[in-house]
Copies of this chain bind each other. A is one copy, B any other.
Amino acid sequence: MPETLGFIGLGNMGEPIAANLLKAGYDLRAYNRTASKAAPLAKLGAKVVNHPAETAEPGGVVITMLADDRIVEEMSLPSGSFIEKLGRGGIHLSLSTISPVTSGRLAEHHAKHGVAYVASPVFGRPEAAAAQKLWVVSSGPGAAKQRVRPLQDAIGQGTFDFGDDAGAANVVKLCGNFLVASTVEALAEMLTLAEKNGVSQKAMAEMIGKFSPLHAGYANQIAHRKFDPPGFRLTLGLKDVRLIMETAESSNTPMPMGSLLRDRWVSALARGRGDLDWSAVALNAFEDAGLK
């Protein structure tokens, strides 16, 4: 019989993930900083609680899906947190995109309370989350990973296990995001080259659509300047690029393409495009080439 789970963080990603866990038959104690956002989930049967620690029960599982490293730490590290409530035998299943360094720090902290830390970031946008089509990455202690596997199965279409290291799954997630971010910049430069040589960006994007769905989506957004409303905000993209580059630096890994991405994203932010879709970073390439 499925256990009762804690769930902290009901944002664009957290909410559909939590909903899928409810559908899979789990009971949920859910917490969100902005309480009003928890209402839809309550309708689906979740018990909404007023303090993150109330999501936990001794020896249980709490899932977090939060915006950044700082918030995960603020939720997890102070005394009286849900980690202490979990105690011996508990598991913190951490879905957030955070740095492997933070995961390492959390794992070490949790271990002192007998709690296992499983890093488990996911690939996919809110639509994929809703459709239970996420791809899940997993790393941490073997027994804990085994216990949370049904939960991962309930929210995604497949899980990749990257071993015991607390931060490994985060590294994989950041690597994946790096590939996507570099694709956006490559498409931007490529479509700029096309237009500067008299080839229609839209025709180009249409052709790309025959080959690769990933490329097609971004190529279309860029070619048609569809940056608003954002599918994924530029500020969030910059957060990810920064996490990648922090991880690169802390591991003495030079990444010239990563550096280029950072410069591009920082420039887009400096030009006031933080609230557009992150593919609006393409405007840098257009402007550098004198395109309107």
Contact = CB atoms under 8 A, between A and B. Distances in A.
Contacts of A189: 178, 253, 255-258
A256 to B, nearest CB: 5
A38 interface: no
Nearest to A191: B175
A217 B105 CA distance: 35
Interface string A10-21: 000000000000
Contacts of A187: 179
Interface in A223-245: 242, 244
Contacts of A251: 193, 196-197
Interface stretch (A47-55, A125-133, A206-214): A206-214
Contact of A266 (B183, B186, B207, B252): B252
Given A185-B257, A186-B179, A189-B258, A160 B207 contact: yes
Given A248-B193, A254-B267, A171 B199 contact: yes
B263 A193 contact: no
Contact of A179 (B210, B215, B248, B290): B215
Contact of A182 (B186, B197, B259): B186
Interface stretch (A29-37, A63-71, A140-148, A161-169): A161-169
Contacts of A215: 179
A252 to B, nearest CB: 4
A158 B152 CA distance: 40
Given A186-B178, A259-B260, A266 B247 contact: no
Nearest to A214: B212
A40 to B, nearest CB: 31
Of all A-B residue pairs in the complex, the 10 with the closest CB atoms, nearest first, are A270-B290, A259-B259, A182-B186, A254-B263, A252-B270, A196-B251, A254-B267, A267-B288, A171-B197, A196-B253
Interface of A: 100, 135, 158, 160, 162, 165, 167-168, 171-172, 174-175, 178-179, 182-183, 185-187, 189-194, 196-199, 203-204, 207, 210-212, 214-215, 242, 244, 247-249, 251-260, 262-264, 266-267, 269-272, 284-285, 287-290
